Amino acid sequence: MTTKKIEITKDKITCEIIIPEYSNRSNKGRIYLDDKRVKLLLIEQELNPGKVIESSRVDNFSEILTGTWIFENADYQSEIIIEVEEIPTNTTKNNNNRSRKKKIQKVLDNSPKDVIIEE
């Protein structure tokens, strides 16, 4: 028989589970519990577990029979104080950072020079 012990504090949910040994003769099947399955067990009992603080693994086939999980209590909300500081808006006009250069017209095509052929 599986034993569950659940303690709820204002910001944590502690769950301790003890499972029986694995036995083929008494027809006790294999039991394996990890973080995901324990979280689902807590949700079935109408609790609201948050992030895992301390995790464990229980497997009666490898003879790990006890495990303790600690979750954040998602129903608990600590007081959060946020200070808002006003930042003055910039009233100056943004200048174009490109330097202004004179436009120079480049001659790309060389004009042919007069050629004189002497005979």
Q: Which residue has the tokens 């001659």?
A: 107
Q: Is the pTM of this model over 0.85?
A: no
The full length of the chain comes to 119
Q: What is the chain's pLDDT, residue by residue, as a tens digit (119 residues)?
A: 678 899 998 889 999 999 888 877 776 778 889 999 999 999 998 888 889 999 999 998 888 889 999 999 888 776 667 777 877 776 666 565 556 666 677 766 666 677 777 77
Distances (CA, A) of 58 to 42, 78, 100, 116: 16, 32, 73, 104
Strands 12-18 and 32-33: unpaired
